[in-house]
Amino acid sequence: MRMLHRLGVEGPGAVVRLLYTRMKFSEWLLSEAGSPRVIMYHGTAFRNLRSIMSHGLLPRPGNRAWADDPHSSFNSASRASLDGIYLTRNLMTALSAATNGANRKYMEEGDLLIAVEMQPKTAFADEDDLNSLAVVANNEMKVADLYSMIGDPAYDEYVEKARKEYRDRFLRLMGHYIELHPMAKARIESVVDQVFEAALRRQAAYSDYYLKNYFKDKVAPDKSAAERDFMVAREKLTRTLKGLANPFRHSSEPGNLTARVEEPIGFRGTNRIVCVLHAPFDYKEKPKLVYGTPPEDLVKQWNERKGEWTGTEPYRI
């Protein structure tokens, strides 16, 4: 305590304040330090119940398909899945995810809803929050023009201006909610610059008409390869952001925050399953409680979005 006194730090909260002072000189400083655990949801097909009750949630289940996204376009990046357990704070998003894609043929079984208590800073930002980075410019001709300048020293100043605009747009998106230490900001800027290059190549792949007719020395990148390269660059950014508890939403905002976890989630530990519900396809029926106790947040969202919560029925095999 004498050491603390010498530093001018006294009182019951001295140790906490000193630790926070040390954090300011570390790589990550955020105004949400000490964020409480949050409840997040995972929705899946009911047929996965036995596996989940035996092994918990797995980041790389054997039956997941990793196909390309046929709906990707000039203004919309591929939404092909990356490894991990997908979680959301929005109850309705989790329930709709349970019957999306390959799960549609199992809709008559109803949804399996898992509520998870999450420790801050243990999940990656989901790519949905970073999809706006896929667009460098909204005009194909401008993208083709900018892409043709890459590597030409005569246009370095013009390219750097576009890169800075892209970087500043991303930092404004984050900066409204958190305060970044200069070291953290520099690291993020460096990674965002790499995403800029990948995003430009991705959009150039969809601008082949303009490249072919106006910039004959430039060949458009392969679309599939460009989409994958952008996903790799974006993934590096999500990992850089992992030290931030919630870079895109204020902690009090009940928005559709999504995240991805790459470690298994069981029924014990830092991140743990607190409730498993079988929600029948007919939402007029009461959900069946398989495990745990429905958290307050689940009941609150159910009342707000699905109608009055009338409790659960016990699940029977």
247 touches 125 (CB < 8 A)? yes
Q: Give the strand pairing for 288-292 and 38-45.
A: unpaired
149 lies in a domain? yes
Q: Range of 237's domain?
A: 127-243
DSSP string, 215-235: -TT-PPPPHHHHHHHHHHHHH
Name residue, tokens 């409730």: 275
pLDDT, tens digit, 9 for 90 and up, residues 110-142 = 789 999 998 877 888 766 667 889 999 999 999
27 lies in a domain? no
Query: Are 218 and 140 members of one domain?
Result: yes
Domain boundary among 184, 212, 243: 243
Domain boundary among 216, 243, 270: 243
Name residue, tokens 């954090």: 23
Taking alpha carbons only, the member of 313, 274, 304, 306 closest to residue 291 is 274
Is residue 201 over pLDDT 90? yes
pTM of this structure: 0.71
Query: Are 103 and 160 members of one domain?
Result: no
233 lies in a domain? yes
DSSP string, 147-215: HHHTT-GGGHHHHHHHHHHHHHHHHHHHHTT-PPPHHHHHHHHHHHHHHHHHHHHHHHHT-HHHHHHH-
CA distances from 195 to 40, 167, 199, 227 (A): 28, 9, 6, 12
Question: What is the pLDDT at residue 176?
Answer: 53
Query: Are 281 and 301 members of one domain?
Result: yes
pLDDT, tens digit, 9 for 90 and up, residues 40-72 = 999 988 888 999 999 999 987 766 665 678 888
Comparing 80-84, 109-113, 154-158, which segment has the lowest mean pLDDT? 80-84
- Structure tokens belonging to residue 156: 């370095």
Query: Are 155 and 178 members of one domain?
Result: yes
- Greater pLDDT, 178 or 116: 116
Domain boundary among 208, 243, 278: 243
- Greater pLDDT, 25 or 152: 152
First to last CA, the chain: 59
Query: Are 189 and 101 members of one domain?
Result: no
Query: Are 103 and 135 members of one domain?
Result: no
Strand partners, 117: 39, 272
Query: Are 264 and 115 members of one domain?
Result: yes
266 lies in a domain? yes
Q: Which residues contact 59 (CB under 8 A, 6 or more apart)?
A: 83, 84, 85, 261, 262, 263, 264
Taking alpha carbons only, the member of 237, 265, 278, 257 closest to residue 60 is 265
Query: Are 61 and 168 members of one domain?
Result: no
Is residue 33 over pLDDT 60? no
C-alpha 23/C-alpha 29 separation (Å) is: 6
3 lies in a domain? no
54 lies in a domain? yes
Rounding to the nearest 10 degrees, give the CA dihedral for residues 194, 199, 205, 208.
Answer: -100
- pLDDT-above-70 percentage for the chain: 74
Best-predicted range by mean pLDDT among 24-28, 152-156, 242-246, 256-260?
152-156
Query: Are 193 and 222 members of one domain?
Result: yes
Query: Are 113 and 179 members of one domain?
Result: no
Q: What is the domain count for the chain?
A: 2
Query: Are 137 and 104 members of one domain?
Result: no
81 lies in a domain? no
C-alpha 51/C-alpha 101 separation (Å) is: 20
Ordered strands of the 272-279 beta sheet: 124-125, 258-261, 85-88, 38-45, 111-118, 272-279, 288-292, 313-314
pLDDT, tens digit, 9 for 90 and up, residues 263-299 = 999 999 889 999 999 987 766 778 999 999 999 999 9
Question: What is the pLDDT at residue 268?
Answer: 92
Query: Are 147 and 197 members of one domain?
Result: yes
Question: What is the pLDDT at residue 305?
Answer: 82
- Structure tokens belonging to residue 224: 């599939």
